[in-house]
Structure formats: structure tokens, C-alpha cells
Amino acid sequence: MAASGTIEFRIDRRSGVATYLQIVQQTRRALRLGLLEPGDKLPTAREVVEATAINPNTVLKAYRELEREGLVEARRGLGTFIRKTLGASPAADSPYRQGLADWVASASEGGLDREDMAALFDSVLNDHFPQENS
């Protein structure tokens, strides 16, 4: 992620998640955190390819998925722009962010690595939102 209004995609080839889905997920996350807002322009497919060394068709597939979801719109000759945001209010400004940051620091000091924390966090989320586990 980058500064407000921009996004830099990070591709993890070892994650087991399809590359186009990583782009979709990172865009959704940026929308939920308020890092991207309606009117912001996504990087061109060429810019993403240069930064990540992935196939241009992969970027286009991700952007088509985002467009299908109504989150972005392609404007011929101009680029792809954010249409709407996600979430009630930007999570980046949430009062819960500091508490979560404190938890991550404590868990790290306690010996948990990123994957351990993610698994633990997902487990707790799944307990609280069982209907979304499918």
C-alpha cells in the first residue's frame, strides 16, 4: 500500500492465492482502510506489470473483477477509477487500530510470527462470524 489515493500492489508468489485475486484483495483492503477513495485512479496495467513482473492479462482480469463488483470503472483512454468505497468509515482512523497494533507488538514479543498471528486472528474472526466461513 502507499499514500492516500495511490496503491502499490505486492505480489506474493508463495501465498497460494491467484495473482489476480491478490490485486483484487489489496484493492478491497485499500478501499476499506480509506487509502483509496472514489475518483482515485488505479495504476495502469503497464505500471503494475513493470512493478511486479506479472502478465498484463492478469492485471486486466483483476480490474475486470473489480469492475464487475462495481468498485471501479474503466474510462476508455483515461484509466481505471475507483467508483465507491467499502466500509462505514475508514478503518485506518479507527480507534481499534492502535489496540490491534499493540496486540501485534505483544504477540511478536511473545514469539509469534506473521503467519501465526494471521492464523490466530482468522480463527477468532471465524468464531465471531461463523456464517461467513463457507
pLDDT at 5 over 90: no
Model pLDDT, residue 18:
96
First to last CA, the chain: 28
Each residue's pLDDT tens digit, 9-28: 999 999 999 999 999 999 99
Q: At what angle do helices 19-32 and 56-68 cross, to 10 degrees?
A: 50
DSSP 3-state of 97:
helix
Instruction: Give the C-alpha separation, 7 to 43, whole Å.
Output: 7
Instruction: Give the C-alpha separation, 23 to 120, whole Å.
Output: 24
pLDDT at 3 over 70: no
Higher pLDDT: 108 or 87? It is: 108
| Weakest-pLDDT range from 11-25, 83-97, 118-132 | 83-97
Model pLDDT, residue 32:
86
Residues 71 and 83 sit within 8 Å (Cβ to Cβ): yes
pLDDT at 37 over 80: yes
What is the rounded average pLDDT for all residues in the chain? 88
Query: The pTM is what?
Result: 0.72
pLDDT at 34 over 80: yes
